[in-house]
Structure 1
Amino acid sequence: MTATADTEAAANELMPLAEYLGSVLRRLRALPPLDLDLTQAHGNVLANDVLAPHPYPAFDQAAIDGYAARWEDLSSAGRVGSHPSFGKFEGGQRPVRLNVVGDLGAASWRPVRLTPGTCFSVAAGAPLPLGADVVVPVHWTDQGMAAVEILHAPKRGSGVRRTGEELAAGQVLAAAGTYVSPAMVATFAASGIGHVVVRPSPRVVVVATGDELVDVGRPSQPGQVVDANSHALTAAAVEAGALAYRIGICDDDPEGLRGLLEDQTLRADLIITTGGTGTGPGDMLRRVLSRRDPGRGAVEFTDVALCPGATLGFGTVGGEEVPVVCLPGEPGAALIGFEVLARPVIQLLAGAEPVFRRSVKAHLLETVSSPGGLREFRPAAVAERRGGGYTVQPLAGGPYTLSGLAEANGLLVLGERVTTAAAGSTVDVLLLDRRR
């Protein structure tokens, strides 16, 4: 049997990635909804549809600075020239003279009414006088104070915002599952909404395990490995929308490891560990978490048809049964494991839809090979083609996945049956869409 055949035979014993993800995600539910003040809701996912309780604008108002008038009083004004907001006008240049009977600002509240031959000087946002149906821009007048000459007549309704013109009462402002953006916060506030019901951002704790680990700020030495994973995975969790906390390094001490994880269940909605998922003599995490102790939960470690990194762990810890995701210790495999497993878990807990990153079909620029029987995620540079579509350039993978990920804006996905993807073929690519 050839080496390739041996690899494929071994891969056939692994659980397909799609099947594994389905089995994990079916065990989870979104976090319970929470009523939040509007200023705290940004970045969370709405738990319910949000309806406008009031119209916006809430009253008829001036859209510009100018003079609020009755269009009938202006119809004989000259209408030569054009304006980008009011269109093109034709006719003579005879001005109309109106008496200015008052000034209205955005803080004005007393109702006032226009009579024929009069107008009000108004600021943008001011309530519109009863009977007014047009606001003449200041630069179309002589800017008079007691009386004003209007040189051009705009169209009826110009310079005016009517009640509910932008948002009607009862209108759906945002659907459940939508991320609350800054513009959405403004829309809610303008419609009279002070609180919204959201799914809270998951609290994620990140722990790196291994006696060999040392903290950043020094190079690795024989017997020592710098802990890159807990820093990277904490950043990745924040990018995914979580409130992430880096606990740091935990030695391979069984009681210390179990005690640390149980302590973190008091502050976490999800725990992510890295390292110790294998079956070697130093893989203490797997031995500790695989034990099914009553009231302490258990984690199942599964060999998944995934490249890089084949073993992933998922289960619960502590009496609160907090979900835990266990990722490999190799940094590139840990980050790929986060993308395919931990990130969808965070999205599901947050109530987001969809839980997976957006994918596109892309034109492959370079022939690549892939291990048979494994679904490979390879760093890639994705670009939009002139005229539509995408191209994808593979970046360093395999043992160099970490350096490739540092440059990547996408992940090239090669299925279990793909051993070679030829240049010019169409492939699937996950878009990383990094937040800036």
Structure 2
Amino acid sequence: MSEPCTIEEHLERVLGGVRPMTPVPQPLLETLGLVCAEDVVATIALPSFDNSAMDGYAVRHADVASATAGQPVRLPVVGEIGAGQATVRRVEPGTVAKIMTGAPIPEGADAVVPYEWTDRGADVVRIDEPPEPGQHVRPAGGDVAVGDVLVEEGTVLGPRQIGVLASVGRATVMARPRPRVVVVSTGAELRDPGEELGPDSIYDGNSFMLAAAVLRAGAVPVRVGIVGDEPDAFLQALEPHLEGADLVVTSGGVSQGDYDVVKEALRREGVWFGPVAMQPGKPQGFGMVGPGKTPIVTVPGNSVSAYVSFEMFVLPAIRTLMGHTPVTRPTVEARLTRSVHSPEGRRQLLRGRAGTDERGRYVEPVGGSASHLIGALAQADCLVVVPEQTTSVDADERVQVLLLDEDF
């Protein structure tokens, strides 16, 4: 067997086979979480016209400047202006118009008297307090001017960015699309949830876990389901899904066993297989398959190995396709609550739960180091990183931690 490569070396191999996807115009609401691929410049102002910031009366300041509670000003009301209902376009000297919030200020008016300063008269209104010139008026362009850059290229589009783009009339925006990621589980022992189990069968948790991880990363999962332990059957099941796929992820069949179908099938396609100096997740594979040379990442079948491998290699590949930076999850430092041991020569990625107390951030190991303990994985929210040459870490020592549930 070849000498194990490092995590970084295998990640470089994987990322060498993927490129950011070509940006295309995307419907606005479908861009949530995508990377904007253009500088979006405002072509209209916000607001696009002077409008009222209050429900009240549009007035000429000169007509109401002398108003007090003791000596109010009374003026005729010539009409009412609602948002989207600009029925009064001008107020003449000595008149006012009732106006609602967001409605356009009529020509001639230069301020708004809120209802609270009046008797709310319908035909004639009593005004007890004058506004300052321009008070309660939202000026055109006061928020956004024509030519302002609203969203810069490289911005991850969130609700606020989508809101401002819609507000200036953009129905689409250039963005890198969501990659389609095909997920395949292998193993004659696997059954879909809901099916009856035999004495030698287990439910397929991996394809659901990996498909969910793909979805959470912002990509589109295509779960093929379960493929048996026969190389030709595996290739036949995979082939129709390669067209239109941007990435393939398989779990299982990559180790040294007699039924390692993925390795046997894909070695024919020139896919690399070998050990990586990590635990869990030592056996890995990567290559390009099909007429379109679709990148494929093969990960082990044990659930924890599959998930940790996704974090180390598949997630960075997806983020590269989508144009996200950074592509790898950043680490934070935390205090270990109890001692742990690790084999020399492999980077251990232990499950843990992180928290904070009066001493700062801490991390508590969860479960053992075995790669099948999915119950403990479900309880974890982070991975504790133990370097290759470190065989033990004492309680209260500082360690590097990958927080699994935080966006980056």
Q: Which stretch shows the higher mean deviation, 260-269 or 358-367?
A: 358-367
Equivalent position amino acid for 1:100 in 2: V
Retained in 1: the 8 A contact 2:191–2:201?
yes
- Per the TM alignment, residue 338 of structure 1 is displaced from its structure 2 partner at its CA by 0.8
1:363 equivalent in alignment to 2:338: no
Residue equivalent to 1:205: 182
Give the SS at the match of 1:46.
coil
Q: Deviations over 1:270-327 (max 9, x none)?
A: 11101011122111210210124xxxxx311131111111111111110111111111
Q: Which moved more, 1:16-25 or 1:306-315?
A: 16-25
SS in 2 for 1:263: helix
Question: 92-101 vs 425-434, which deviates more?
Answer: 92-101
Is 1:63 equivalent to 2:53 in the alignment?
yes
Q: Distance in 2 between matches of 1:210 and 1:334?
A: 14
Q: Mark the runs of 5 or more structure 1 residues left unpaired by the alignment.
A: 1-9, 79-91, 293-297
1:71-110 equivalence runs, <5 A: 71-78=61-68, 94-109=71-86
Contact 2:299 2:309 in 1 (8 A): yes
Name the aligned partner's letter for residue 292 of structure 2: E
Q: 2:205 is matched with which residue?
A: 228
The aligned residue for residue 34 of structure 1 is: 24
Task: Please list the CA deviations of residues 88-140 of structure 1 after superposition, one character each: whole Å capped at 9, or x if unmatched.
Answer: xxxx7543333322211112347833444332211111111234333222122
Determine if contact 1:311/1:327 at 8 Å carries over to the other structure: yes
Q: Is contact 1:98-1:148 (8 Å) kept?
A: yes
Of residues 275, 285, 291, the one that matches 1:319 is: 291
The residue identity in structure 2 corresponding to 1:402 is I
Q: Which residues of structure 2 form unaligned runs of 5+?
A: none
Matched residue SS, 1:232: helix
Which of 346, 356, 372 pairs up with 2:344? 372
1:239-275 Cα distance to aligned partner (Å, 9 max, x none): 1111112111111222221122222111311111010
Change (3 A) 1:363 1:141: farther
User: Any conservation in 2 of the 1:409–1:434 contact (CA below 8 Å)?
Assistant: no
Does residue 1:390 correspond to 2:380, yes or no? no
Give the conservation status (yes or no) of the 8 Å contact 1:333–1:401. no
* Alpha-carbon contact 1:378-1:401 (below 8 Å) kept: no
TM-score, structure 2 as length reference: 0.91
Say whether the 8 Å CA contact 2:80–2:87 is kept in structure 1. no
Query: Would you say the 8 A contact 1:63–1:160 is kept in 2?
Result: yes
SS in 2 for 1:208: strand
Output the CA distance in 1 between the equivalents of 2:404 and 2:130: 53
Question: 56, 77, 90: which is aligned to 1:113?
Answer: 90
The letter of the residue matching 2:361 is: Y
Give TM-score, length-normalised by structure 1: 0.85
Q: Name the CA shift for 1:346/1:149 in 2 (closer, same or farther; >3 Å).
A: same
Which residue number in structure 1 is paired with residue 162 of structure 2? 185
Aligned to 1:346: 318
Corresponding residue for residue 274 of structure 2: 302
For 1:95 and 1:358, locate their aligned partners in 2 and report how far apart those are by CA, in whole Å: 65
1:400-425, CA deviations, whole angstroms, 9 ceiling, x for partnerless residues? Answer: 64222212222222222332223323
Which shows bigger deviation, 55-64 or 410-419?
A: 410-419
8 Å contact 2:383–2:401 — kept in the other structure?
yes
Distance 1:109 1:205 in 2: 54
Instruction: Specify the code of the residue in structure 2 equivalent to 1:393.
Output: E
Structure 1 residue 175 and structure 2 residue 152: aligned? yes
User: Higher mean Cα deviation, 121-130 or 415-424?
Assistant: 415-424
Structure 2 residue identity aligned to 1:28 = V
State the AA in 1 paired with 2:35: V
Q: 1:32 to 1:131 in 2, by over 3 A?
A: same
- 1:334 aligned residue: 306
Residue 341 of structure 1: how far off its partner (Å):
0.9
CA shift at 1:219, angstroms?
7.5
Give distance in 2, aligned partners of 1:39 and 1:74: 46
**CA drift at 1:203:** 0.8
Q: Deviations over 1:365-394 (max 9, x none)?
A: 33222222222222222224469x532222
Deviation of 1:207 (Å):
0.7
Corresponding residue pairs, total:
406
> In structure 2, what is the Cα distance between the partners aligned to 1:236 and 1:57?
41
Distance 1:74 1:223 in 2: 88
What CA distance in whole angstroms lies between the structure 2 residues aligned with 1:259 and 1:30? 28
SS at match of 1:390: strand
Corresponding position of 1:126:
103
**Structure 1's 386 and 121: CA in aligned 2 closer, same or farther, altered over 3 A?**
farther
Question: Residue 17 of structure 1: CA displacement?
Answer: 0.8
Contact 2:17 2:295 in 1 (8 A): no
Asked if structure 2 preserves the Cα contact closer than 8 Å seen for 1:93 and 1:152, the reply is no
- In 2, the alpha carbon distance for the partners of 1:137 and 1:418 equals 71
Contact 1:57 1:164 (8 Å CA) reproduced: yes
- Whether 1:20 aligns to 2:10 is yes
Give RMSD over aligned pairs: 2.5
The corresponding residue for 1:195 is 172
CA pair 111-150 structure 1, distance change in 2 beyond 3 A: closer
